[in-house]
Structure 1
Amino acid sequence: MSEQRKTTYPGGFPAILTQMEGRRDPFTYYDGEALAPLDQDLQALKQVTMQAAAPELGDSRSGYARKYRALAEEFDGQPALLHLHGLLVAHLRRRAQPDHTAALFQRLWAEEAEYLLARLDARWLVSAATTFGDHGANEVQRSVGHALSVLFGMMKLYETERLYSAVPPEQPHPWRKKSSKHLAMQMDAFAVGGAGGLDVNMLGRLWQQGSEDPVIAPLVQRLLTLLVDDDKTVFRRLHIMRARKEKQRQAEGKEGKVKPGRSMPADRQKITAPVPQRRADRAGRPLHWGVVSLIKAPVREILEFAAYHIDRGAHQLHIYLDQPDPEAEAILARHPRITLTVCDDAYWDAQKKPRMKTHRMRQVWVATHAYNTTDCDWLCHIDVDEFLLPASGVSVADMLAAVPGDQLGALLQPAEMLQTGASAEAEAFKLTHLAAGHKRAVLSEIYPNFGTHLPGGFIGHISGKLCLRTGLDGLRFGIHACHWQAAQVENIEVLSGSYLGHAHAPDWAQFRKHLDFRMTRGSYQRQEDNDRLQMGDVVDLLLEEGGEDALRRFYEEMNGGGDAQRAALAKHGMLVDYPLHLSARVVRVFGNDAKAYL
């Protein structure tokens, strides 16, 4: 019965192995020919340019010479170091090679990884990974090399077959009934529209394992970054299909259909809101701007937040204390530009509603209340750990006055504060790659282990905050957006050059202090409808595998703020040096009595 069994490859695995081994005969050499020695001067090879004709070989027809010439044609006009790399890969695919071949390949990647990554295309990088799989110096190199070889080999097979579907590689399939419930060998299909994590787990584990070895790590991270940034892969197509399905699901509601008389959820609709005209009684005065914030924080942080924005020219601060704080109240209430509201039980009773359960709901409530009562022309809704950072030489009022007249508001992109170290007046902030106009690949250069796991390389939010023109009836202020007539307002100008400084975790102590809350009730809670690797997942994995030391190393890589990190950020235009001078501003705004809290 086994003789009658149909197989894809006639002759079975004996035939497969025969065909494979037939291509692995060692190269032959003629007299005087030899592979470069182990102590070859690699720097010198960078200065030598390859010629397609390879005149240095004369008329030799050895196996070595034929491969040498083929590679010389491919690397014509390029440095000989790349040609040597190709020769090493070719030799290491054979059953035998000079004794030092693998060691020279290892030396090349240990000493010249940056040079090779900058000049070799993805095809050669995959070949290098395959070579590590066969000739790695340790288990990590061999394991990761083999895994990458299989991954990219299978991609080449199925992407080639997909070409015959006449559908461009960047175009995902439409949502429709699947042709079968099961895949080959009775495997269940990947949950495209659900919480399938196969892709994330596979790529994430490769990244983590590859990062354990310093020689192969740069190659692994470059290949995986190229993979996730390419829009012509199954990973990108499935991501687009998943996003479309989620949008459709939310539009249709839990029952799967749009109910009669009901519209789409407000956060899925977009609307261009009318821009209110400036009131006549404000026409002859300078532009007034203000801030609204619901705050629960130590007195020092409250005073620093308030003093900074008053000193920058805020006309009015609408501060809502989320719970009574007599010390903070005593200082804040005395300042004429602060409208202080204590959100105690009496306050919520006066609103004729119970105190809302979540901090976010209370934030939206007080922000909208302040919007409807302020006498400012513009109102910015931000948190106590956030600071408006207008561009150098520009005031906040000038920044807002420059917003086009058809835009209801301005979105300030976040700049995340780096650890400041010993100097309290040396604040600097980092930008996302998008804010600086870069592709995602730049993150792996700045944060080699964790950058591409986090949106924008940030450990805080990347959504930014809004400043809005006041006077639009019915507007509802949100956290990162605003709504009018049950739809999200879309005529919002995204500012460039001015940012929202976010002191999310300005030092290790602050990061660790707030971590448990953020993991259980705050911004690090896992969003179950998102199967991508999230901040909470990263923290859980770090604590599980390496404990507090691993978590501390993570923080230092992402927000350490050392000279090397700042230089890397500056190189890509992602560093914003912006001293806040908070202590001096507190004394200037609130007087010497406030020094006791600094």
Structure 2
Amino acid sequence: MGRQTGGRMHGEDGFETYPDGMRDLIAARRRRRAGLVYHEGEALPLLDVDLDALVSGLVPDQDPAPLPRGHSSFARKRHDLLPDFRGKPELCLLNALLIANLRKFNWPEQAPALFLRIWREKADLLLEHLNSRWLISSIITFAEHGPTEADRRIGQSMNVLFSLMKLYEYERQYSGTPSDEPFRIPGRAKGPLPLNMLGFQIVGGDLEANLLLDIVEQALAAPNAGPLATALMDRLNRDPRNIFRRFALMRHRLELMRLNREEAG
């Protein structure tokens, strides 16, 4: 805890990241998560919609027409999403619209069940056509709307994993080092980690492996979100631009350095 000064709590350096603590974050979330507004004639499909028709129908491969004045927030969201899915099955656009609704505090009654239905019946097609951004958004939606505890658990775990990765990887770009290039072994800053956490051994350490293995085991136990989570873990494993790949490369370099020392000795 920080120290109390003049009625306000301060951190170790005299400041707090969020001056009003968690209250600021809660208030901001409430503002962002107001439900979408629908005008007359606008609606999500019903739960028994023909999914095969949405697979065969394609989103127009052209820029959307400008919105009329006085449009609804639902119309704005749909309009903004259209370019992401040009030429793709309409089911992909529906998945995105359902996610946009389900991230709010209220949504059309059929939205949760329809989201779960399309992932039960058309997961293979969605995995084929959706990019990683929308697959991540989909798995995060299971955190609140998964039908089982296992589905909600894997959704929440992957929400934390990918959200923290996005924050870290984006800040790292300001170092000037490309995302697929590990930092140099010599020259590591010796300052303390946040909250005085201990560092870990790159060679012989298993922190990142245990983190990922816990998530893989959760994915295997999730009856609905499991295939999606497993596909995302496979993509992460193949992507060279992340902290896990860089640690693997650093570990390899350190092992080579050790072998070279042993041979030279």
- What TM-score, normalized to structure 2? 0.91
- Residue 109 of structure 2 corresponds to which residue in structure 1? 99
Name the residue aligned to 1:596.
none
2:221 is equivalent to residue 212 of structure 1: yes
In structure 2, how many angstroms separate the alpha carbons of the residues matched to 1:124 and 1:247? 39
| 1:259-274 pair list within 5 angstroms | 259=265
1:54, CA displacement in angstroms? 5.4
Q: Within 5 Å, which residues of 2 pair with 1:366-515?
A: none
**% same residue:** 36
Q: Distance in 2 between matches of 1:240 and 1:68?
A: 42
Which of 12, 20, 35 is the equivalent residue of 2:29?
A: 20
Q: Could you tell me which residue of structure 1 aligns to residue 119 of structure 2?
A: 109
Counterpart Cα distance in 1 of 2:70 and 2:135: 29
Q: Give, as a single letter, the amino acid of the residue that structure 1 aligns with 2:112.
A: A
Q: For residue 77 of structure 1, report the CA deviation from its aligned partner.
A: 2.2
State the partner residue of 2:161. Answer: 151
The answer to whether structure 1 residue 258 and structure 2 residue 264 are counterparts is yes
- In structure 2, the partner of 1:71 is 81
Which residue of structure 2 lines up, in the alignment, with residue 549 of structure 1? none
1:126 deviates by: 0.6
Question: CA separation in 2, counterparts of 1:60 and 1:53?
Answer: 20
1:240 is aligned to: 249
Tell me the CA shift for residue 10 of structure 1: 2.3
Kindly name which structure, 1 or 2, has the bigger radius of gyration based on alpha carbons: 1
Supply the distance in 1 between the matched residues of 2:74 and 2:81 (Cα, whole angstroms). 11
Amino acid at match of 2:179: P
- Residue type of the partner of 2:264? V
Q: Give the letter for the 2:168 counterpart.
A: Y
Structure number with the higher strand fraction is 1
Query: Where do 1:139-178 residues align within 5 Å?
Result: 139-178=149-188
- Name which structure has the greater RCO, CA cutoff 8 Å, separation 6+: 2
Which consecutive residues of structure 1, in runs of 5 or more, have no partner in the other structure? 260-598
Asked if 2 retains the 8 angstrom alpha-carbon contact of 1:181 and 1:188, the reply is no
Tell me the secondary structure at the aligned position of residue 211 of structure 1: helix
CA deviations over 1:143-187 (Å, ceiling 9, x no partner) = 110110110111111111111111111111111143126311111
Amino acid aligned to 2:21: G
> Are 2:35 and 1:29 aligned?
no
1:585-596 mapped onto 2 (5 Å cutoff): none
- Alpha-carbon separation, structure 2, partners of 1:161 and 1:72: 29
Give the 4+ runs in structure 1 shifted more than 4 A: 52-55, 57-60
Counterpart-to-counterpart distance in 1, 2:87 and 2:100: 20
1:53 CA displacement: 5.6
Partner SS, residue 189 of structure 2: coil
The aligned counterpart of 1:120 is 130
Say if 2:58 and 2:90, in contact at 8 Å, map to a contact too: yes
> Whose helix proportion is higher, 1 or 2?
2
Number of residue-to-residue matches in the alignment: 254
Shift of 1:214: 3.0
- CA contact under 8 A between 1:53 and 1:69: conserved in structure 2? no
Matches of 1:248 and 1:19, distance apart in 2: 49
> What stretches of structure 2 of length at least 5 have no aligned partner?
none
The letter of the residue matching 1:212 is: A
The residue that corresponds to 1:521 in the other structure is none
Mark the CA change 1:181 to 1:53 in structure 2 (over 3 Å): closer, same or farther. Answer: closer
Answer whether contact 1:210 1:216 (CA < 8 A) is retained.
Answer: yes
Correspondence for 1:342: none
8 Å CA contact retained: 1:30, 1:60: no
Q: Which residue among 47, 50, 65 is the counterpart of 1:41?
A: 50
